[in-house]
Structure formats: C-alpha cells, structure tokens
Amino acid sequence: MKLTTKGRYAVNALLDLALHNNKKPVHLADVAERQNISLTYLEQLFSKLKRHGLVSSSRGPGGGYRLALEADEISIAKIIYSVDETIDITRCHGKQNCQKDQRCLTHDLWMELNMHVSSFLNGITLFDLIQRNNVKHVAQKQDFAFVQIHKH
C-alpha cells in the first residue's frame, strides 16, 4: 500500500476546487497557495487528474480548472488512483505468485485488507467530505487567510 503526500495533495486540491466551484474556473496558483502545495508540483498532479477525466481546464486569462464531474461522482479512490498511487497491498498485485510462483501464506489476508480499504475509499465522495462541518469550517479559515493576503 502506498498513500503519501501525492495522494493527499490530490484529494486536498480537488476538495478545494469543489469548494470554490462557482461560475469561474479556479486558478491553480490559488489552490496551491490555499493548500500550501508547490504550484509546479500541483500542475503535474492536475495533468494526471485531467487525463483521467476528473477535471477540465480552460486556458488564457481568466482560465483555470474546474471539476469535470459532479462532486458526488468523484470518489476518493478515483482521485488516488488517478495520480498513480496504488491501494494494492499484496506483493503479487493479486496474481497469486507472491512466493515461488505460489500464493504466499498471507495472500488472502492482504487481499482482504485491500478490499476493506478500497471499499472505504470508494464509498466516500468529494460531496460527502463537503457535507461534513469541519471541512467547511477549515475552508473558511483558509479563504480568510487568502483574502487577508490579497486585499489591496
């Protein structure tokens, strides 16, 4: 199993996008600042998210990214998968050749854990996260800080 900042960044960034999903597309630079992620790194992640159809982009002045699907159609599992992180835990990736071309002693255990984790992450969408009070509260704080810095 591999769940690192890459996957967390992607989920945070998409949630930020969902929370600022008005008429206008969202600048990646703003997301980067609010979520404290390097812009160029975020660009790489969004290029993957776009390839997987989770976001759409528009170029030029006033351009940016927006969700390509409804928030309740984007599961956390989808996001993590899109940025190349695998939820798989087994060595053989399900192929049952974990040890000398045979299933290792604990093959079934890891498969079971796989199932648990993916069904958990499949069952939660961006919409679910938005519904939770904490998220809105945290997002407001982030927006406040953002406005404080950028007001002229």
Partner DNA sequence: TAATACTTGACTAAATCACTTGGTTATGTG
Partner DNA sequence: CACATAACCAAGTGATTTAGTCAAGTATTA
Would you count residue 144 as binding a copy of itself (CB under 8 A)? no
Would you count residue 37 as binding DNA (CB under 7 A)? yes
Distance CA 92, CA 78 (A): 22
Size of the site for DNA (CB under 7 A): 30
The interface partner of residue 105, options being DNA, a copy of itself, none and the CB cut-off 5 to 8 Å by kind, is a copy of itself
Residue 8, judged by CB atoms within 10 A of its CB (0-12, 13-18, 19+), counts as middle
DSSP string computed for 87-138: ----SSTTSS-TBTTB--TTHHHHHHHHHHHHHHHHS-BHHHHHHSHHHHHH
Taking residues 4 to 33 in sequence order and writing x for each that binds DNA by CB under 7 A, - otherwise, the string is xxx--x---------------xxxxx----
Backbone angle region of 124, left / alpha / beta, with phi > 0 → left and psi within -120 to 50 → alpha: beta
**Closer residue to a copy of itself, CB minimum distance, 100 or 150:** 100
Task: Compute the Cα dihedral for 127, 128, 131, 134 and give only its sign.
Answer: negative
Q: Which stretch binds DNA (CB under 7 A): 62-70, 106-114, 129-137, 138-146?
A: 62-70
Would you count residue 62 as binding DNA (CB under 7 A)? yes
Would you count residue 111 as binding a copy of itself (CB under 8 A)? no
**Closer residue to a copy of itself, CB minimum distance, 58 or 84:** 84
Q: Of these, 13, 15, 46, 74, which contacts DNA (CB under 7 A)?
A: 46
